[in-house]
A and B are shown apart, each in its own frame.
Chain A
Amino acid sequence: MQQITLGEAVNQALREEMRRDERIFIAGEGVGVSIHSGPGATSGLLEEFGPRRVKDTPVSEAGIAGLAVGASVMGLLPVVEIMFNPFFTIAADQIVNHAAKLRYLSGGKSKFPLVVRIKTGAGMGAGCQHSHNLEAWLAHSPGLKVVMPATPADAKGLLKSAIRDENPVIFIEDIILHWVPGPVPEEDYTIPIGVADIKKPGTDVTVVTWSKALGTAFKAAGQLEQEGISVEIVDLRSLVPLDEATVLESVRKTGRLVVLHEATRTGGFGGEIAALAAEKAFDALKAPVLRVTAPDIPVPYSKPLEDFYMPNEADLIEAIKRLF
């Protein structure tokens, strides 16, 4: 199987889908000609598909998002890019007030099959105006689907599903994961949106996580395994729709739940998972549900401060041990 990065997996998904369906176009700042010359999510697409289908845009996030909304209702399949998650806020009117609601407002008559790709994540020393995980904001907007892959293989299959989905899908890619390789099947495949994946089976405690934090969960699980604690890792992959069944089944099996995410704590999506367990698996819980998250601060620049921000395996191990 090919070993490629998440960035390259995104690139393959875009390329294969664009070859398959002429209605798909991409747009964003530097998606054609970029300041980065290495292999990236959109590199080579301008060369293959030309400027009609690969649109470099001005620095105009509201315009980029609106372009997708308008083009999609006319039957095109836009895949637009918002460079970093904080800049999504400028596009938010078009995405939250329009993409998410216009179908509802049409009484189900119109559809908006668009994808917004957003890069996210701390760990690159860029500070809080580039690094800010806002997935919970997006998940809080009915009408949007929200996908956040952790592996290259998931990214490729989920992006294909996102492009083929008839609803607005927000596809959030961690920027550090962009450079991390993993095995990806060569053939055409999709991974359904709304289906979580048990990345590691276990019996004593369930860790629910997504995106880059999956790696942290694996590191902690490896160490705990040696101490006789068996961790089951559930990678949500999609926040909306949420795969409640997989989460609940795992919690019923282990009786313990820790939610791990890189985003800040208050109002984070981890609260949603905790509430799910409290509402629907209370009887199965042997211990309180814990959240391991970033503290409620903007992402700081300085290395020791950014390291402090990032929830790590020691934090997760400490939380898990409190449950026994």
Chain B
Amino acid sequence: MDNQEKKKLLRMMLLIRRFEEKLVALSKDPQKFGGMMIVCTGQEAVAAGAGAALLPEDVIVTNHRSHGHLLAKGAEPDLIMAEIFGRRTGYNKGKSGTLHIAAPEVNALCTTTVVGGGIPIAMGTAFAAQYMNKDYVTVCFFGNGASDEGSFHEALNMASLWNLPVIFVCENNVYSGAQRQEEHTKVKDIADRAVAYAMRGEVVDGNDALAVYEAVQRAREECLSGAGPVLIECKTYRWGGHGTADMQLYQPQEEIAGWKEKCPIKKLQADLQQAGVLTEQEFQQMESDVEQIVEQAVRFAEASPWPEPAEALEDVYV
């Protein structure tokens, strides 16, 4: 990755961070949008790193914690924001909301909030690539908790059996709801679960965007050469609660503070500054660019029309 691309990577993490900080702030106002806001603050390196390794034709399948994945795949901030505002101009005309935004325009084909639900689907989109002899890969994002669902195990077994071009990216943020990893599985590294399906598994520092990028890039090549699938476990941490309604009573303060020290944005920023690639001024510029994008997205969403009630009846069938 050249220096320009590294800066883009940093900028993407910053965009995800500020975009979601805005969502959390807005969600305090029940007039704006209801429900619980689920964000990936602290985990941005996974989305940004993986996104940087993908081409437009590559497919992503993601889960309830998806804003970062979508942005990094190239989805439009305006259209994501409008969807979360429930407006007609949003990616899914207000049908999805924050939890299930699909952006087929950028091959973000399925965002599911059914934990584990996307994993077999990613196996299916990968099957289609093999069947049609096409050179794209599928990246499937899911959490450590999702690896306890039967769907995970069935999908990995089938993907491995047929050498499908799919990269399973497990975003291990230590928690699954209020349960810590050691309370939901005895497995220490989710990557070890690859062994059960004779697939390559790898543990990556999920707070190191470059490391994630490199791992996904490598896996992508393997997949395209017919040596897929691959399971990549990105070790990271959820700074906030499961969602905005979560008071985090079960999350030790020292643990949160420790992980904040390992902020993926600060890390890449520091690395780039130390290498003389990024000046403080450039970083400030990045901050203000990103802020403008987020503000613009909110303006777009707020100015957008609500759907007419009867539009609820549309889009059920083709």
Measuring CB to CB, which residues of chain A are less than 8 angstroms from any residue of chain B? Answer: 29-30, 33-37, 56-63, 86-87, 90, 124-130, 295-298, 300-305, 307-309
Contacts and interface: CB of A to CB of B under 8 A. Distances in A.
A59 B86 contact: no
B116 A58 contact: no
Contacts, number: 130
Contacts of A125: 33-35, 97
The 10 closest A-B pairs by CB, nearest first: A302-B94, A301-B97, A125-B34, A302-B86, A58-B148, A308-B309, A125-B35, A305-B312, A58-B184, A35-B246
A58 to B, nearest CB: 4
B242 interface: yes
Given A35-B245, A305-B311, 12 more contacts: A56-B178, A58-B184, A128-B100, A129-B99, A296-B316, A297-B312, A297-B313, A298-B316, A300-B312, A301-B100, A303-B34, A308-B312
A28 to B, nearest CB: 11
Contacts of A61: 149
A305 B93 CA distance: 10
A35 B178 contact: yes
Interface of B: 33-36, 86-87, 93-100, 112-117, 145-146, 148-151, 176-179, 183-185, 241-243, 245-247, 249-250, 306-313, 316
A302 B95 contact: yes
Contact of A304 (B116, B309, B316): B309
A295 B314 CA distance: 11
Contact of A124 (B35, B145, B177): B35
A86 to B, nearest CB: 7
B179 A62 contact: no
Given A126-B35, A295-B313, A296-B316, A301 B177 contact: no
Nearest to A295: B313
Contacts of B97: 125-127, 301-302
A58 B249 contact: no
B312 A56 contact: no
A307 B177 CA distance: 29
B204 to A, nearest CB: 23
B179 A30 contact: yes
A296 to B, nearest CB: 7
B63 to A, nearest CB: 11
Contacts of A295: 312-313
A129 B114 contact: yes
Given A127-B99, A129-B99, A87 B114 contact: yes
Contacts of A56: 178-179, 183
A128 B98 CA distance: 12
B96 A29 contact: no
A36 B306 CA distance: 31
A90 B116 CA distance: 10
A301 B86 contact: yes
Contacts of A62: 150
19 contacts: A35-B241, A58-B185, A59-B115, A59-B177, A61-B149, A63-B148, A86-B114, A87-B115, A125-B35, A127-B95, A129-B113, A130-B113, A296-B316, A297-B313, A302-B86, A302-B307, A304-B94, A304-B307, A308-B310
A59 B148 contact: yes
Contacts of A298: 95, 316
A134 to B, nearest CB: 14
Nearest to B113: A129
B100 A129 contact: yes
Given A33-B250, A60-B149, A301 B113 contact: no
A124 B309 contact: no
Nearest to B311: A305
Contacts of B36: 126
Given A37-B249, A125-B33, A295-B313, A30 B149 contact: no
A30 B177 contact: yes
Contacts of A309: 312
A64 to B, nearest CB: 11
A36 B250 CA distance: 10
Nearest to B309: A308
A57 B183 CA distance: 8
B121 to A, nearest CB: 13
A51 B140 CA distance: 34
